Amino acid sequence: MADTAPPAEDQKHEPVVSEAATNYDRGHGGEERGREVGAELAPHLVPGPVAEVGTGTGLIAFGLRELGHPVVGVDIDGELLTGAYARLGPSVVQGDAQALPFATGSLSNLVYVHVLHLLDDMPGGLAEAVRVLRPGGRLVAVHGVPTTDLGDMAEPFAPLVPLTYLKDEPHWLDPAAEEAGLRLVHRGHAGGYEGGMSPAQYAYSIEKKFWSYLTDMDDETWRTTVVPVIDGLRALPDPDRERNLQWHVHLGVYARD
């Protein structure tokens, strides 16, 4: 098979980019951020076709394609894919990470950026990745909770720290990947990206459940733990002044033998 993006099922996409896709781009740094992440992940890819699973609006797939990689973006969210289609043309497909729309052994690389923790059945999703990867193929995952030195926001945020875990943290993902038939070949960090955030903005992001670990929070924990954190952040001096934060996140690269 030639090193081109594998054919995906024909999909009909709205020609107009949805509001959800526009907001997604704004919240994820746009194409500039996609290029940065693509450049960081590209050295871990092997020659051949790439699928970015959970591509959203195709920002990272776009960055990889600019670097010359034959890439297709996959996402379950049709509204976000209007943005990906505008960016990538026909190299997008609507599909489920746990039932990938590709033939067995048809891909050289799979890329997951902040996606694996969203799978209802992560071991099943990893087994599906093994199915579509060629022998010697790579699964490249940016995963786990982003970390940073919060400065003066650390103290009011502290009660939430024990709750900020995701099921794709390395101590869970690595053994699950091995069980599925994937060998860890690189463990490091991605990111090192800087961003400004004020205590008021951080409080708002928590209040609106922007962070995945808050999605299924029970009412009692929300009332007794989360609300005091929100109030504490808003009570800091100069709550509207942005603090410069440098974020890091886990990077795992796995080979299908």
Query: For 14-70, what is each residue's pLDDT tens digit?
Result: 458 999 888 888 877 789 889 999 999 999 999 999 999 999 999 999 999 999 999
Q: How many alpha carbons lie under 13 Å from residue 254 in its C-beta half-sphere?
A: 26
Rg, the chain, Cα only: 19
Would you state the pLDDT for residue 166?
85
Neighbours of 64 (CB within 10 A): 25
Q: Where are the beta strands (DSSP E) in the chain?
A: 50-53, 71-75, 92-94, 107-113, 133-147, 182-197, 243-256
Give the pLDDT band of residue 71 (cuts 50, 70, 90): very high
CB 6 within 8 A of CB 107: yes
Would you state the pLDDT for residue 2?
43
The pLDDT of 239-253, averaged and rounded, is: 93
DSSP state of 63: H
Neighbours of 11 (CB within 10 A): 14
- Give pLDDT tens digits for 168-213: 999 999 999 999 999 999 999 987 667 788 999 999 989 988 887 8
C-alpha pair distances (Å), 40 with each of 33, 35, 48, 60: 11, 9, 18, 10
More confident residue, 210 or 118: 118
Would you state the pLDDT for residue 64?
98
Residue 9 predicted with pLDDT over 90: no
More confident residue, 135 or 192: 135
CA distance 230 to 224: 11
Give the pLDDT band of residue 86 (cuts 50, 70, 90): very high
